[in-house]
A and B are shown apart, each in its own frame.
Chain A
Amino acid sequence: MSNFFEKSDLNRNEAETIVSDTLKKCDDGELYLENSKSESILLDDNKIKKSSYNSDLGFGFRAVSGEIVAYSHSNEISKTSLKKSSENLRSTLKSAKGIYDYSIPKSNKKYYSNINPIEEKTLNSKIEILNKVNEYLRKKDNNVKQVTANFSGEQKSIEIIRSGGETLTDVRPLVRFNVSVMLEKNGRKESGVYGIGGRKSYNDYLINDNWKNVCDEAFRIASVNLESKPAPAGEMKVVLGPGWPAILIHEAVGHGLEGDFNRKKTSAFHNLMGQKVASEGVTIIDDGTLDNRRGSLTIDDEGTPTEKTVLIENGILKNFMQDRLNARLMKTRSTGSGRRENYRHIVLPRMRNTMMLSGKQTQDEMIKSVDKGIFAVSFGGGQVDITSGKFVFNCTEAYEIINGKIGSPIKGATLVGDGPSILKEVSMVGNDMMLDPGIGTCGKAGQGVPVGVAQPSILINKMTVGGTNL
Chain B
Amino acid sequence: MVKDQEFLKKKASYCLDLAKKLGATDTCVNVGNSISETVNFRNKNLDESNRSDNLGIDITTFIGKKKSSITSSNLLEENLNILIEKCIETTKNTPEDEFNSLPDKDLLAQEIKDFNLYDDTHLENDSKAEYLSRLETAASKDKKIINTESSFVENKSNFILANSDGFCKGFKSSSFVASSVAVAKDDKSMERDFEYTRKCHLKDIKNAEELGKKAAEYTLRKLSPKKIGSEKIAIIFDKRIAKGILSTFASAISASAISRGTSFLKDKINQRIFSDEVNIFDKPDIFKGQGSRSFDSEGVRTDTLKLVEHGLLKNYLIDTYNGRKLNLKSNGRCGGTSNLYFENGKISYKDLLNSNSKCLYITETIGHGSNIVTGDYSVGATGFLIENGEFKHPINEITIAGNFKEMFQNLTLANDLEFEYSTNSPTMMIEGMVVAGK
Contact = CB atoms under 8 A, between A and B. Distances in A.
A466 B401 contact: yes
A390 B396 contact: yes
Interface in B31-53: 42, 45-53
Contact of A71 (B46, B48, B183, B374): B48
A235 interface: yes
A414 B378 contact: yes
Given A127-B93, A190-B373, A73 B192 contact: no
B183 A392 contact: no
B25 interface: no
Contacts of A266: 147, 183, 190, 192
A233 interface: yes
9 contacts: A51-B69, A53-B83, A53-B87, A55-B71, A68-B47, A72-B50, A190-B373, A344-B54, A470-B434
A47 B189 CA distance: 53
A383 B52 contact: no
A357 to B, nearest CB: 27
B397 A464 contact: yes
Given A127-B93, A146-B261, A387 B191 contact: yes
A162 B225 CA distance: 48
B53 A48 contact: no
Contact of B379 (A233, A265, A466): A466
A335 B148 CA distance: 27
Kindly state the interface size class of chain A when it binds its partner: 35 or more
Interface stretch (B280-288, B344-352, B364-372): B364-372
A44 to B, nearest CB: 7
B55 interface: yes
A135 B30 CA distance: 35
Interface in A445-468: 464-468
B270 interface: no
B261 A388 contact: no
A51 B91 CA distance: 8
Contacts of B53: 72-76, 81
A447 to B, nearest CB: 12
* Nearest 8 A/B pairs, CB to CB: A466-B399, A392-B380, A392-B367, A233-B436, A387-B192, A92-B49, A381-B368, A72-B51
B121 interface: no
A393 B50 contact: no
Interface stretch (B74-82, B156-164, B297-305): B74-82
A57 B53 CA distance: 12
A391 B367 CA distance: 8
A258 to B, nearest CB: 15
Contact of B262 (A68, A182, A393): A182
A322 interface: no
A373 interface: no
Interface in B50-94: 50-55, 67-76, 78-79, 83, 86-87, 90-91, 93-94
A468 B97 contact: no
A269 to B, nearest CB: 11
Interface of B: 42, 45-55, 67-76, 78-79, 83, 86-87, 90-91, 93-95, 97, 125, 146-147, 149, 183, 189-192, 222, 225, 230-232, 259-262, 364, 366-369, 371, 373-374, 376, 378-380, 382, 396-403, 434-438
Contacts of A72: 50-53
B48 A387 contact: no
Q: Which of B42, B74, B87, B261: most chain A CB closer than 10 A?
A: B74
B397 A417 contact: yes
A45 B260 contact: yes
A470 B231 contact: yes
A253 to B, nearest CB: 16
Nearest to A55: B72
B366 A390 contact: yes
Given A123-B93, A387-B190, A414-B380, A52 B51 contact: no
B39 to A, nearest CB: 8
A414 B379 contact: yes
A146 B260 contact: yes
B51 A85 contact: yes
A188 B376 CA distance: 12
Contacts of A47: 95, 97
A360 interface: no
A463 to B, nearest CB: 10
A453 B147 CA distance: 31
